[in-house]
Chain A
Amino acid sequence: MYFKGWLKPPVTKQTVLSEKYVSKDALFLRGMEFDRWIDYTNGSARSNGFSEGDLIENPAYVIESILRDWVFCERNRRIDSTSATNKAILSGAVNGLGLLSGVDDYYNNAIWYNHTTGHKTYISDYNGSTKEVTLASADGSGLMAAGDYISVTNIQGDNLIDTTSFDAVGNSTNGTRDGYLLAASIKDFQSPRAIIDEICNNFLLFVFKSGLKYKTATLEKKATADGTLTNPLKMNGVPQIFTWLTGLSDYYSDFSFKHFNEHARNEYLHTMQCSANGSTDGLGTTYEGYCKTANEQYRQGVRKYERDFAYIYNGMDSLPSTDTTMHAVAKLLIKFYTRLRLMVDFYGDFKNHMKYEVGDQLKINYAGAIPTGLNNSAFFLVTGKTIETVNGIPTVRLILMETFEL
């Protein structure tokens, strides 16, 4: 079913001619810090080892910050009137730049910035019909007034972020990316999608929408599977489960990872290398061995893989330390790309399989299709999900990829 003038996939795209710029000037600083959302979800405590005011440098929380602090926002709003030091109306009636939503409590727990007075707090109550906000703490400056410029961030953030998944990746105790360091100055206009996509690409993460919420997942094997597939649907008596290997174009055996971008020179200063012939300090024979095995097993000669890591600086600059972010990411990538992986196409009934979604990791217990070495033991990452109708019955089709662990 396609409409006239239909774009597939549907796209609303930016068509702003953009420039990059190279500044020769620089300051010495640490960047964004956590706001209140790291400690609270819908007003209830949230625990992940970080607090409001801490530096944001874990990639999972940088992504969460981009969403909450820079996407779920209304900016350049103006106060139309105030009735107290903790109450302001932004209806647009006077200054024409009011809040957009007329739903009661819509802005509750959103962060309030008054650029004119310098006051920051959060919104504790919102009256949708009058568009009056109540601030959690009064603007002590006493100067809050009509005309002030306001930014509101983290709007509906607690309803749009799956904090459990972000904390599983980022928490400072056992998060799967705990200790990974990100640093970047986002100084050229980009879409949030492009930024998040590159961060995910740099740190081997996935971000997707699960129901109403943004969720994150990792590439490598989790500690515990999310479930086990056992019973594929049958068509004419044939079980609907099919397997194949990824293609020869999906493996590599000679790796170069550029990192530590120096903005004033507009280039990367360091490169991490690994091939069958040798590698950078900290990788060594184990990872050279993966490259060697790939060359010998697939007999396609050396296949080169290069990737730029704009968001990673912690790597070759820190030698002789080899316990760096770039080392950790390199190990995962080399392990991932030096083997072809088993793919599985699985049809399941709606009732028992609708609960699975992309990013989940499942075991498959079906000896008729899964090799013995993987059956009911290997984890498979759900990379695709389709809801189809087979003979009028809703069916869930999952595409899965064999995952791995270090």
Chain B
Amino acid sequence: MITYAMTAGNDNAIIWLIELELSSGNLYFCSGHNTASVSLSTGSESRVYTNALQKGSLSIYDKTIPAENAGGVGSRGGFMFVIAGFGGYDQNDFYPATGGTNVFMQPCRIGWIWSGATAISEITWLIDGEVENFEVRPDGVYIESVETNALEYLALPPYKVQKDYDDNFTYFTNAPDEVYGLPIPIVYGRFESFDAGRGKYRLAPAIVVDRERLKYLATCHKCDYTYYDAETKYRVFKYLDGTESYIEMVPTTGSGGNSFNGHYVNLVPASARAGVWVNGNVVLWKFLSGAITDITNVSALQEKNYSNDLTLGDGEVLGLQFVGEFDKSFGTPNIGLTDIELVVLWRTTTDGENRSLSIKFYNYIKAGGSGYTGAVGSDTQNDADSYKFTYYQFGNVTDGKSNTDLPWNWDELLGLQFVIENNSGSVADPGGVYIKNIYLKINNVVMHRITDSVMKLKVGYMGRR
């Protein structure tokens, strides 16, 4: 609601007031039948509004909101009027020959008073506009004033990556060519969650602005919270096409910053040197049921929308094989025991009853196949109220590998059939288990390729049409 600056009496007439700012000074106009002028006190002086409006020339735009869309920005307010016979001024007042500001885009506002008003504090302002159009005709000056167009003529984000002038902020001399000119994002809200076991990531996009330091910039402003605030670990995530998963890139010597100049992470120091590089952690979670299985429907563990568990009954076997069509040239798996692990998140179906899982794999890629690995993992638990992570680690296992002298390669890992057996009946309390997540985690991947080109999509012209 609009609060009137002045309370009307019973017989008050409305008088429109217009203020137009020009470089030569402010012009004041009023409307009103048989009203030659209105004088209002500013407190220190008397301000005179002259009735120079052409009769019937004042019109005010409709105001609307897009209710049919259930939300949106309302229309811009505006008004038009004619100053009859230049209102005692000269057209040069509106368009000085040189130097002075012409009337275009000058502030021009409209309000009203009730007759009898004596002070400018009694004006109820309706529209604060800028002159967007004006035209001089023999009968006067036609003027249109509209609420500021800043919402349309600005472009956000306001900053882009550049190397033309050093503002200590957006100036980067060693960015990839395709990055110059890209906007530096404005970020609102939380980008701080990921459930790698279901491929659910909520991360903020970043761009490489320094190839030497592997500097990733995510915002053009200070962030409320950054990852290393909590864990003092610098890291960058890279999407791995074909896996619905990100590589978590962890530097041996990283650094970062978070100020009103932006939030960034450097993966390497100014000069990369021996022993200073970047490792990657990869989670593969897309899989199919394997050939050796009692459970053929594994969709409960592949569905992002739901948190339903997969039930594995006593004595049942779940076989699965990971899938992924991705470019494997980004890095090589490492050779430590914990560098490759199958992770199972599970719980017992009955609180207090012990359940047991055993985990192993079968490799049918190897010529002649050696069958099941001798490395069998097992774990037990009896808590029905919380899930337990079981890690089946085999980074240094060579059973079933084609070449036992080299680290695991991606095709070997994708060729493995993992077999998870609920063996509770034979080693613990017989009964089922609930499995929430299963994924293959490859840690400390030696990264060969870290930066990729950004993909650009032409989207045409921006702004209101």
Listed in ascending order, the chain A residues whose CB lies under 8 Å from chain B are 1, 3-4, 6, 9-33, 53-57, 62, 65-66, 69-71, 73, 75-76, 113, 115-116, 118, 120, 149, 181-197, 200-212, 217, 219, 226-227, 246, 250, 260, 262-266, 269-270, 281, 313, 316-317, 319-320, 332-333, 336-337, 350-351, 354-360, 381, 383-387, 389, 394, 399, 401
- Chain B residues with CB under 8 A of A359: 65, 74
- Chain B residues with CB under 8 A of A116: 167-168
Determine whether the beta carbon of A189 is less than 8 Å from that of B183.
Answer: yes
Determine whether the beta carbon of B464 is less than 8 Å from that of A26.
Answer: no
Q: Among the listed stretches B88-96, B302-310, B424-432, which one makes contact with chain A, having 4 or more residues with CB under 8 Å of it? A: B302-310
Determine whether the beta carbon of B260 is less than 8 Å from that of A188.
Answer: no
Instruction: Please give me the residue from chain B that is nearest to A71 by CB atom.
Output: B150
A226 to B142, CA, bound (A): 37
A406 to B261, CA, bound (A): 44
Within 8 A of A (CB), among B189-246: 189-192, 194, 200-208, 216, 218-219, 221-227, 235-239, 241, 244, 246
Q: Pick the contact of B154 from A192, A356, A389 — CB < 8 Å?
A: A192
Instruction: Please give me the residue from chain B that is nearest to A207 by CB atom.
Output: B73
Q: Pick the contact of A27 from B124, B151, B159, B265 — CB < 8 Å?
A: B265
Determine whether the beta carbon of B237 is less than 8 Å from that of A12.
Answer: no
- Chain A residues with CB under 8 A of B119: none
- Chain B residues with CB under 8 A of A22: 454-457
Q: Pick the contact of B63 from A28, A185, A194, A385 — CB < 8 Å?
A: A385
Determine whether the beta carbon of B206 is less than 8 Å from that of A26.
Answer: yes
Determine whether the beta carbon of B461 is less than 8 Å from that of A263.
Answer: no
B158 at the interface (CB under 8 A from A): yes
Q: Mark B416-451, 1 if CB is under 8 A from A, else 0.
A: 000000000000000000000000000000000000
Determine whether the beta carbon of B457 is less than 8 Å from that of A21.
Answer: yes
Once A14-B155, A22-B454, A265-B239 are accepted as A-B contacts, the answer to whether A358 and B216 lie under 8 Å apart by CB is no
Once A189-B155, A209-B74 are accepted as A-B contacts, the answer to whether A26 and B236 lie under 8 Å apart by CB is yes
Q: Could you jot down 14 A-B contacts, CB within 8 Å? A: A17-B460, A22-B456, A25-B206, A26-B206, A69-B221, A70-B157, A149-B169, A187-B185, A209-B127, A246-B68, A269-B304, A356-B1, A358-B63, A385-B62
A183 to B225, CA, bound (A): 14
B149 at the interface (CB under 8 A from A): yes
- Chain A residues with CB under 8 A of B194: 28
Determine whether the beta carbon of A183 is less than 8 Å from that of B460.
Answer: no
A73 to B60, CA, bound (A): 29
Once A31-B224, A357-B2 are accepted as A-B contacts, the answer to whether A207 and B156 lie under 8 Å apart by CB is no
Given A16-B461, A28-B194, A332-B70, 6 other A-B contacts at CB below 8 A?
A54-B224, A219-B71, A265-B244, A317-B305, A319-B307, A358-B63
- Chain B residues with CB under 8 A of A217: 65
A351 to B168, CA, bound (A): 56
Instruction: Please give me the residue from chain A that is nearest to B148 by CB atom.
Output: A209
Instruction: Please give me the residue from chain B that is nearest to A6 by CB atom.
Output: B133
- Chain A residues with CB under 8 A of B85: none
Instruction: Please give me the residue from chain A that is nearest to B62 by CB atom.
Output: A386
- Chain A residues with CB under 8 A of B74: 206-209, 358-359
**Residue of B65, B238, B246 ringed by the most chain A CB atoms within 10 A:** B65
Determine whether the beta carbon of A21 is less than 8 Å from that of B305.
Answer: no
Determine whether the beta carbon of B307 is less than 8 Å from that of A26.
Answer: no
Q: Pick the contact of B202 from A188, A313, A385 — CB < 8 Å?
A: A313
Q: Pick the contact of A186 from B134, B185, B465 — CB < 8 Å?
A: B185
Determine whether the beta carbon of A191 is less than 8 Å from that of B154.
Answer: yes
Closest approach, in angstroms, between the C-beta of B209 and any C-beta of chain A?
11
Closest approach, in angstroms, between the C-beta of B259 and any C-beta of chain A?
6
Determine whether the beta carbon of A184 is less than 8 Å from that of B156.
Answer: no
A335 to B135, CA, bound (A): 49
B26 at the interface (CB under 8 A from A): no
Q: Pick the contact of B1 from A32, A202, A227, A333 — CB < 8 Å?
A: A227
Closest approach, in angstroms, between the C-beta of A128 and any C-beta of chain B?
14
**Residue of A17, A65, A212, A264 ringed by the most chain B CB atoms within 10 A:** A264
Instruction: Please give me the residue from chain A that is nearest to B241 by CB atom.
Output: A24
Closest approach, in angstroms, between the C-beta of B226 and any C-beta of chain A?
5
Determine whether the beta carbon of A24 is less than 8 Å from that of B239.
Answer: yes
Closest approach, in angstroms, between the C-beta of A276 and any C-beta of chain B?
21
Determine whether the beta carbon of A200 is less than 8 Å from that of B151.
Answer: no
Determine whether the beta carbon of A10 is less than 8 Å from that of B204.
Answer: no
Within 8 A of A (CB), among B102-123: 109
Determine whether the beta carbon of B146 is less than 8 Å from that of A208.
Answer: no
B462 at the interface (CB under 8 A from A): yes
Closest approach, in angstroms, between the C-beta of A395 and any C-beta of chain B?
11
Determine whether the beta carbon of A25 is less than 8 Å from that of B62.
Answer: no
Instruction: Please give me the residue from chain A that is nearest to B306 by CB atom.
Output: A319
B76 at the interface (CB under 8 A from A): yes
Once A1-B59, A55-B224 are accepted as A-B contacts, the answer to whether A208 and B73 lie under 8 Å apart by CB is yes
Instruction: Please give me the residue from chain B that is nearest to A193 by CB atom.
Output: B151
- Chain B residues with CB under 8 A of A270: 304-305
Once A120-B260, A183-B188, A359-B65 are accepted as A-B contacts, the answer to whether A14 and B462 lie under 8 Å apart by CB is yes
- Chain B residues with CB under 8 A of A194: 462
Determine whether the beta carbon of B156 is less than 8 Å from that of A190.
Answer: yes
Determine whether the beta carbon of B461 is less than 8 Å from that of A355.
Answer: no
Once A191-B155, A193-B152 are accepted as A-B contacts, the answer to whether A185 and B186 lie under 8 Å apart by CB is yes
- Chain A residues with CB under 8 A of B134: 3
Instruction: Please give me the residue from chain B that is nearest to A75 by CB atom.
Output: B158
Determine whether the beta carbon of B188 is less than 8 Å from that of A26.
Answer: no
Closest approach, in angstroms, between the C-beta of B426 and any C-beta of chain A?
33
**Residue of A195, A263, A316, A399 ringed by the most chain B CB atoms within 10 A:** A263
Q: Pick the contact of A381 from B67, B238, B239 — CB < 8 Å?
A: B67
Determine whether the beta carbon of B71 is less than 8 Å from that of A3.
Answer: no
Once A204-B71, A212-B125, A383-B67 are accepted as A-B contacts, the answer to whether A30 and B190 lie under 8 Å apart by CB is yes
- Chain B residues with CB under 8 A of A20: 456-457, 459
Closest approach, in angstroms, between the C-beta of A305 and any C-beta of chain B?
10
- Chain A residues with CB under 8 A of B459: 18-20, 188
Closest approach, in angstroms, between the C-beta of A148 and any C-beta of chain B?
8
Determine whether the beta carbon of B188 is less than 8 Å from that of A184.
Answer: yes
Determine whether the beta carbon of B156 is less than 8 Å from that of A192.
Answer: yes
Once A11-B152, A187-B157, A313-B202 are accepted as A-B contacts, the answer to whether A32 and B236 lie under 8 Å apart by CB is no
Once A185-B204, A193-B151 are accepted as A-B contacts, the answer to whether A29 and B158 lie under 8 Å apart by CB is no
Q: Pick the contact of A355 from B2, B64, B183 — CB < 8 Å?
A: B2
Q: Pick the contact of B189 from A3, A12, A182, A262 — CB < 8 Å?
A: A182
Determine whether the beta carbon of A181 is less than 8 Å from that of B190.
Answer: yes
Closest approach, in angstroms, between the C-beta of A226 and any C-beta of chain B?
5
Determine whether the beta carbon of B57 is less than 8 Å from that of A33.
Answer: no
Q: Pick the contact of A10 from B124, B132, B456 — CB < 8 Å?
A: B132
Determine whether the beta carbon of B218 is less than 8 Å from that of A27.
Answer: yes
Q: Pick the contact of A201 from B59, B72, B128, B224 — CB < 8 Å?
A: B72
A181 to B67, CA, bound (A): 22
Q: Pick the contact of A31 from B8, B146, B157, B191 — CB < 8 Å?
A: B191
Instruction: Please give me the residue from chain B that is nearest to A401 by CB atom.
Output: B67
A195 to B158, CA, bound (A): 13
- Chain A residues with CB under 8 A of B238: 24-26
- Chain B residues with CB under 8 A of A25: 205-208, 216, 236-239, 452
B36 at the interface (CB under 8 A from A): no
A-B interface, 7 closest residue pairs, ranked by CB to CB distance from nearest:
A183-B189, A208-B74, A14-B463, A31-B187, A26-B203, A264-B239, A193-B151
Within 8 A of A (CB), among B157-184: 157-159, 167-169, 182-183
B77 at the interface (CB under 8 A from A): yes
Determine whether the beta carbon of B65 is less than 8 Å from that of A23.
Answer: no
Determine whether the beta carbon of B71 is less than 8 Å from that of A201.
Answer: yes
B280 at the interface (CB under 8 A from A): no
Q: Pick the contact of A191 from B62, B205, B458, B464 — CB < 8 Å?
A: B464
